Structure 1
Amino acid sequence: MPFLDHATGGLNADSIRALLPFSRALHYSDGEEIVVRGAESRYLYYVEKGILEVSHTIDNTRIIVAIIGPAGFFGEIGFFDGISRVRDIRAAEDSVVRVFDTASLDRLQQEDPVLYGDFVRAMARSICGKFRRILEEREPLTAYAASLSTGYRVLREARPIPSGLLHTREWQFISGLVEDFKASLFDLSYQLQNDGGSETPDRLQEQCFHVMDTFNDRLQEAALLLKDGEIADYLWGYAFKEIFPYFMRSRFAERAYYKPRGYAGDFQMMEMIYNNEPAGDGKLGKLMDAWCLESTAARAVRGRRAFLKEQLNILCEKRRSSANLIRIMNLACGSNRELFDFLITYPHTGLIAVLCIDADVQALEYTNRHVNVVPHSASVRLMNDNVVRWVLGRMRHNFGPQDIIYSAGLADYLDDRMCATLINRCHAHLEEGGALILGNFGHKNHNKAFLDQILQWRLIHRTEEDLKGIFAKTPFGANVAIKAEENGVNLFAIAVKTK
């Protein structure tokens, strides 16, 4: 019974059965508080039946940090050190919890010292495991960004161009691209400066978009030309150094490059794309920001929001006749815009229970304050955890079987091996007939070179065949359909769990 052993610090089923007579059983109803933050730590607990949620509250936002299922101990740290509880724990369904106190453990020590020793060692292992996880993620967002296949951001430093490169075709192309772009922006900036109006004329916006489109197209050509690793590093470094200051006028480009939350695609970046309100330094910065927000990649992000809303509606309608409750899990959820777009229009939200998981607690707070403000009857729970650790099996939660699991953009940051592992984990947590929706940028993203080389926002782009190949190595096999949002850029693998 590996799950039992893992959850109990190594105690096997026979040991657990021998321990239970030294405890007393308490029954809790769905939603009932078991442990309240700040309460005295007098007891150690064991879940005999049911599901419990461990949470804390930040500015009126309840954030789940762990889900404990049957055969799990909790409260051991507070029990042994006597310090007041630091988390709230409540029943997520009708549950039976066994309670141990000092007197019961003293009796255990007297009556069965061997079992008592096994129990204490198991609790010590459990406590050590928790502290190791805390040490691993002292900076959760940095740890999350580092766990992605695309890695944590690394600032690019330009190196002097070797003289031998100055006569190559590659240098001629890159230097020409850079100089043409700078000259075009200088001319545009001059015209904007001479324009006395508070609003930018349409002709100048069109001119800016033409300059940016041309630059973007030539970047794509450069990506095909620069195949040699060392030459590419030198020349991309040069292009970046020359062009970087211009793009930092755009709020979009500035945030994408500096990655204040550790990775480019954080919830605030997504909100920026959804809102589509250009901002930047001066008129030129605002124009460049407008281009970024109307780029192929940005339009695809808005397209996937609409696509996911539609798919949630379709899948929930299919499940509605056969399920008393439709359970949905959103992985790396961000601000959950597509979810609430769906909830505000779906007529049967009383059947919906959603668990939204993200490594960024600010994303969850934002969801609660600014997104979950529409009328609906769904149960929406917000959980703070690094999904990648769950994918790798380093964090175990009893999520229970799900009807729908989806992720808008996590696969963009996972290599094929990690992506397959994610799919396997999702398959294991789906009900029979349940569906997985996995979004991934496709090769029709005409901004790939711009994202890679200028903003250093590296995504793993995949074709339809790539996605099918990954799914073929999982329990879903060939039972997967590949669709795309309205722009044809963001692909979605939709797979159903069968017998």
Structure 2
Amino acid sequence: MFRSLSLLTDSDWQTLRASAREIRFKDNDVIIKSGSEQRTIYLIVSGFVRIASEVEGHSITLHRLGPEETFGEMSFLEEQGASASVVAEGEVLVEAIESNKLKSLLSSDPGFSARVFHSLAVTLSQRLRDATAYVQELNVNEVAQVNRFHSTRLGYITQRQLPEDLVQSMERFDSTLRGFQSKLRNGAEIAELDNQIDSLCDSVIQDLKRFTGPEALIEIGYDDLMGYRDTDQLLIGIGAYVFRETFRWFMLSETMAHCYMKPRGFSDDIVTNEMISANRPAGDTVLGESIDRWFLNRTFCRARRESANLISNTMQRLLKGKSRPALLGLASGSSREFLDFLANTKAHPMTTLVDVDQDALASVADAISEFGFSHSIDLVEQNVMGLVAGRGRMTLGAQDLIVIPGLMDYMVEGECVSLLDWVYDNLNAGGHAIISITAPDHADSPLLVHLLEWLMNERSQEQFMGMVSRSRFASSSSEWISDEFSVANYLVLQKGT
């Protein structure tokens, strides 16, 4: 019995199928084209189809349907053009019922008509509920938006607790940049400006490291016992003070301003990563461009630019000898590692890239067109945690490799374990997963946390393996790979055969 027409009786089905005709479609056949005037209802007997919509000229998968499901109901009911395209994924067998035949059946039997329309109403109602839940996930539950809003960081430290050395250092930073600004406005040139900016900005990060260490915070607390603050409060207080003293200058940098302002809701978005990847310094005035150059040359940004190459090379190694592997990227963003891999592989992989951000998927589609890839690449708009929780709108076969670039930096432990379990269940025997995480206490942690409010759940290899031990990967083989900057760690897990 078809789930979408679950209220029909056996007799109803005999009547319906007597008027239907079987049609077979091949992989990538367009069954319904968006906007087309079609009045046929299709019943999927075997195979899968994807529902796709055009976003900025690119096809984005919105949903997948499989056996015992139907499509074409909306056009039949509304007598309007199709709202989306329907494309075959592999071999598909359907039973098609033309509009005129179905209308004739409906008019001849009031009971049959009532059950058909009731079934269609239930189906469309459920799809509306699913869509509503999905929109709620997009707006509220997307895990990468954990630091979407700026926090208030006042009252965590008293004036007497501020170290005199730190106060003087911030005053030097501000006065030196004011001097540079005045000279530049008057048309003067500053010798080795970039080197001087590098030294000044480096000193801010060094001060943050110096005064936010455990011993320094304890000593700071003793400087004003009447204004007691615990070390966690003092840590926030020191960071907030440095932030306030340097904000006007660092916001001259285009990249740093974007990271802090989070115009798309979170730091780690497609635009941020493209700016870091492009490595083209820009900003307000000559000072802003110079500060931007300093930021883009920090180890965190350099590690980000190197990550795609490192993951791509690992993919090549793990998939060696496979002629048509199934690949999946979760929260894939710009998908640079996949594009690098596809540009250099001799295999013909079937690739699915999942992200909640339509702009990210559109950017990937542009890159696919630019490179002229002939590989099978499916772009799916989907909240990953909704997928893990069973609210997914896509059907996947078993995968040979699943890549998760950075998503777990924004997830709590329970979510990480759930995602690991889901990955395990969706891998072929012997399949691999590559997971990237940001190392704790890397050189630019103070910069990200205190100056840009770019907050991540940074975990050591030991801490992450503790979560792995609570997942279905507990007895699986594992391998750690680190980048040359000690910023990111990459875990390779293999499902047992």
Under a length normalisation based on structure 2, what TM-score does the superposition of the two structures give? 0.85
Q: Secondary structure at the match of 2:281?
A: coil
Decide whether aligned partners of structure 1 residues 106 and 419 sit closer, same or farther in structure 2, where only a CA change above 3 A counts: farther
Aligned residue identity for 2:288: G
Residue pair 1:309, 1:342 contacting (<8 A) in 2 also? yes
- Aligned-residue offset at 1:182: 4.1
Work out the CA distance in 1 between the residues paired with 2:9 and 2:247.
61
Q: 1:395 to 1:125 in 2, by over 3 A?
A: farther
Equivalent residue, structure 2, for 1:65: 62
Aligned to 2:330: 331
- In structure 1, what is the Cα distance between the partners aligned to 2:39 and 2:149? 48
Indicate the residue corresponding to 2:152 in structure 1: 157
Match of 1:46 in 2: 43
- Deviation of 1:186 (Å): 2.5
> How much has 1:93 moved relative to structure 2?
0.9
Which SS does the other structure have where 1:317 is aligned?
A: coil
Whole-Å separation in 2 of the counterparts to 1:14 and 1:427: 40
- Give the match for residue 243 of structure 2: 240
Report the Cα offset of residue 72 of structure 1: 2.6
CA contact (8 A) 2:144 2:266 kept: no
Question: 1:482 maps to what in 2?
Answer: 480
- 1:78 Cα shift? 3.2
The yes-or-no answer on 1:82 pairing with 2:75 is no
Q: Which moved more, 1:333-342 or 1:193-202?
A: 193-202
- The Cα offsets for residues 88-115 of structure 1, whole Å up to 9 and x where unpaired, read as 0111211001234564487589889599
Cα deviation, residue 130, structure 1: 2.5
Read off the aligned partner of 1:172 and give its amino acid letter. L
- 1:403-442 equivalences under 5 Å are 403-442=400-439
From the superposition, tell whether residues 449 and 410 of structure 1 become closer, same or farther in structure 2 (CA, over 3 Å): same
Q: What is the rounded CA distance, in whole Å, between the counterparts of 2:425 and 2:11 in structure 1? A: 28
Q: SS of the residue aligned with 2:370?
A: coil
Change (3 A) 1:53 1:160: same
Can you list the C-alpha shifts for 1:420-467, whole angstroms capped at 9, x where unaligned? Answer: 111222222212221111111111522222212221111111111122
Asked if the contact 2:137/2:386 (under 8 Å) is kept, the reply is: no
| Counterpart Cα distance in 1 of 2:81 and 2:112 | 30
Partner SS for 1:393: helix
| Structure 1 residue 131, shift from structure 2 partner | 2.0
Preserved contact between residue 158 and residue 241 of structure 1 (Cα < 8 Å): no
| Equivalent position of 2:252 in the other structure | 249
CA–CA separation in structure 2 for the residues paired with 1:48 and 1:296: 54
Name 2:392's counterpart in structure 1: 395
Tell me the equivalent position of 1:148: 143
8 Å CA contact retained: 1:156, 1:237: no
**Cα distance in 1, alignment partners of residues 474 and 176 from structure 2:** 56
Moved more, 68-77 or 461-470: 68-77
Offset at 1:86?
0.8
Secondary structure of the structure 2 residue equivalent to 1:399: coil
Of 63-72 and 29-38, the range deviating more from structure 2:
63-72
Q: Deviations over 1:164-206 (max 9, x none)?
A: x333xxx323x7535513422421442465368898643x322
Show CA shifts across 1:263-294 (max 9, x none): 11111211111111211112221222122112
Q: In the TM superposition, what are the counterparts of 1:76-155 in structure 2 within 5 Å?
A: 76-100=73-97, 103-104=101-102, 107=105, 117=115, 123-136=120-133, 138=135, 142-143=139-140, 146-148=141-143, 151-155=146-150
Which amino acid in the other structure matches residue 157 of structure 1?
T
**How far apart in 2 are the matches of 1:64 and 1:15?**
36
Look up the SS of the partner of 2:311 in the other structure: helix
Instruction: Give distance in 1, aligned partners of 2:206 and 2:435.
Output: 29
Q: Does 1:265 align with 2:258?
A: no
Give secondary structure in 2 for the equivalent of 1:373. helix
* In 1, Cα distance between equivalents of 2:336 and 2:15: 47
Instruction: Assess, with a 3 A threshold, how the Cα gap between structure 1 residues 55 and 477 changes in structure 2: closer, same or farther.
Output: same
Q: Residues 199 and 476 of structure 1: is their aligned pair in 2 closer, same or farther, counting only changes over 3 Å?
A: farther
- Alpha-carbon spacing, 1:9–1:218, altered in 2? closer, same or farther (3 Å): farther
- Whether 2:169 is the aligned partner of 1:180: answer yes
Within-5 A mapping of 1:333-372: 333-346=332-345, 348-349=346-347, 351-370=348-367, 372=369
Distance across 2 between alignment mates of 1:158 and 1:337: 36
CA RMSD of aligned residues (A): 3.4
Aligned partner of residue 354 in structure 1, secondary structure: strand
Equivalent residue of 2:28, what SS?
Answer: coil
Does the alignment pair 1:166 with 2:138? no
Give the total of aligned pairs.
479
Assess if the C-alpha contact under 8 Å between 2:45 and 2:94 holds in 1.
Answer: yes
Aligned to 1:308: 311
Shift of 1:314: 0.9
CA distance in 2, matches of 1:378, 1:90: 16
Contact 2:252 2:288 in 1 (8 A): yes
- What's the secondary structure of 2:440's corresponding residue? coil
> Which residue of 362, 375, 379 maps to 2:376?
379
Amino acid at match of 2:266: Y
Q: Structure 2: how far apart are the matches of 1:235 and 1:155?
A: 17
With over 3 angstroms needed to count, the CA separation of the structure-2 counterparts of 1:19 and 1:436, relative to structure 1, is farther
Question: Does structure 2 retain, via aligned residues, the 8 Å contact 1:444–1:488?
Answer: no
Q: Which residue of 2 aligns with 1:292?
A: 295
- Whole-Å Cα distance in 2 between the matches of residues 138 and 308 of structure 1? 32
Q: Distance in 1 between matches of 2:408 and 2:280?
A: 27
CA distance in structure 2 between the aligned counterparts of 1:68 and 1:135, rounded to whole angstroms: 18
- Alpha-carbon distance change, 87 to 233 in structure 1, aligned in 2, over 3 angstroms: same
1:217-260, Cα deviation, whole Å (9 max, x unpaired)? 33234444465455555554444333322211111111001112
Q: What runs of 5+ residues in structure 1 fail to find an aligned partner?
A: none
Q: Which TM-score applies when normalising by structure 1?
A: 0.85
With over 3 angstroms needed to count, the CA separation of the structure-2 counterparts of 1:461 and 1:152, relative to structure 1, is closer
Instruction: Label 1:11 to 1:401 Cα distance change in 2 as closer, same or farther (>3 A).
Output: farther
